[in-house]
Structure 1
C-alpha cells in the first residue's frame, strides 16, 4: 500500500516552483515534482542523500544558503540568482530559504527565466503572425504588376535588334526575376505540413553535410547529439530548410574561422505558446562568431532585418514560420563569441498549426 501523503505535501506537489526540505547535514528530506524536473533527479534517488554531483556548482549554492539560514535562524531571499543546474543549462531564479526547525530549512526556487521566456515567445509568435499577414498582402499586390512588367520587357526584347538595347531589356527581365524571388520569399511557405516519422539527427546530418561542403578549412562543425531522442512527427524537408537557414547564417558570421556546434537534448514538461507538452526536443545551433548586434537582437525574426549588406533578411523569418507550423518555436541568445539559436519541437503527436 503506497504511503499516505499529507495535505501539505499534496499542495507542494502541485506547485510550479521547486521546493526542497534540506537538513543541516545537507541531505534532502523532501523534494517536490517541480524540483525533481529542475534538477533532473527523482525523489527516490535523493531523499536521505545530498543532491548528486552532476548539479554542481548549483549544489554548493543551495547548501551554502541552507547552512546560512540554519546558523542565523532567519529567512532570506536572493533575487535574480544565476544557477548552473547542469553543464549546458543555466537559469535565473529567486531563491527563498526559510528555517522550519533548528536543523531543517525549506528552499523554494522560482524560475524567472520561464516567465520571461513565456512572455518573449508569445511576442515572437505575435510578431510572426503580424508580419506574415502584412507581407503576404503586400507581396500579392506587387506580384501582379511585376509579372506584367516582365512580360512587357520580354516582348520588347524580341522586337529589338540592337544588342545594346537588348542588354537594357535583359536587365529589366533579370531584375524582375530577382524581385519575384524576393516576393516569393516574403510570401513564405504556404504548403500544408505533411508530417511523417522523422529522426531529428537525420535532419541535422543532412544540414551538416551541406554546411561542411560550403565551409572553408578554418571552420569546424561539431556534433553533440543525444541518441536517445525518439522520432517526431514532422515534414523533414521543412525542418532541413529551417535548420539550414540558421546554420548558413552561423557559417557566414564566422568569416572563415571558428566553430559551429549542433546539439540535441530533450526537455520534459515544457510549454510552447501556452500549450504544455510532455516532451520536446531542443536543437541548439551554436557559433563562435562576433555575435548579433544588440540593436538587432529583438528584431532578427522580422523579414528584411539583416546584419549583412548582402543578406535579404528572410532566412530567419522563414525558419521561424516553418518551425511554428510544427507547433514549435525558435529562440536566440547572443553575445560576442557565442550565438545560440534554439529550436523547440514537440515530440508527441499534435494537430497541425496554421500554415
Structure 2
C-alpha cells in the first residue's frame, strides 16, 4: 500500500491512508489528513465525503483509477532491485495517464479536492511543443517519445494536448483558486470547478505555476497567460519577497483565527457595494458572481471571487462598450483590493527555505527571459546570492 499511495500522491510515509475497492484495490490515498483543512491539506472529513461521493457517482472512474494504480504497482515491483536502460515509453505512459484523468468540463486532473499538478502541466506543454516542432520540420506527427507507437496506440494529436493544458490553465486562473484581486494561487480547490479554495498560498506552488503560465505563453502567444504570469510575480513581489536582502518567504496563511475560513479573501455583496460606485458594483457583481448567497459554508453571505461572466457578456447585458466595462472592472478591482488591505492580513511565514527559494529563483529567471522583466531578473540573482 505504500507503493500504491506513492503512485497516487507522489509520496508515502506514516501514517498511511489508503482507500480500497471492495476487492482490495487501492484507488486513492495519502499520508496525514488533519481534522480540519490545515497545513495545505484537506481535512480527513472532507476527504471522506469526497471519496464517498466519487465512489457513488463516478464508480467507473474509481475502478479505472484502481486499475491504473495496480499497473503502477506491478511496474514498480518489476523494477525492484533491477537496473536497466531508461525507455521513453515511460514518459508516454505518464502523459497517457494524465490525459485519461483530464476533466473535460472543468479542466485539471481528477475530481475534488483538485490540485493544480504543475509538473504534469509542464510535461504536457513540452510534449505539445515537441509535437509541433516535428510537424514543422516534416518529420511526421509523432515525437521521439512515441516513435515506437503506431496506429491506434499513437499519442493523441497535438491539438488535444493544447486543449488539455490551455483549458486547465485558463479555468484555474478564472477560478476562485486564483486570487482575482492580488494575483497568485491558493493551495488547492475543494471543489472540482476551481471555485472554493483552501486559501493558503505557498511559494513553491506559485513558483511552479509561474513556470506553467510562462511556458504556456511561449507555446501559444496567449496574452492572458502572460498577464497571469505577471500577476503572480506582482503578488510574490508584494507579499513573499524580502526586498531588502533578497530571498522568498515561505507562505501566506489561509485564515486569521480558528473561526475564520478565508474571510480576508471573500466578500459579501454589502462589503463590495460599500466601496464601489453603483456602476462598478454592477459590473463587479456580474463578473465575479457576487450575490446575497455565496459559496462559503461557515458564512453563506461570503462570496469567493471567480470570473463568472466575461467582459463581452457583461457589455451585451448592460448595453455598454467592452472598453467601458473593462474600465469599470479595473476601477472596482483597485478599490476592492485597497479595501481588503485594511483588513487583518493572514500571517506571512517569512522563513527562507533554500529549496523553495531555488524553485522561485528558477521561475523568476525563466519569466524574466520570456517576458523581458529585468527587475525580476535582478531580484532573482540577488536572492541567489543570499542562499549561496
In the superposition, the TM-score normalised over structure 2's length comes to 0.25
Q: Which has the larger radius of gyration?
A: 1
More helix by share: 2
More strand by share: 1
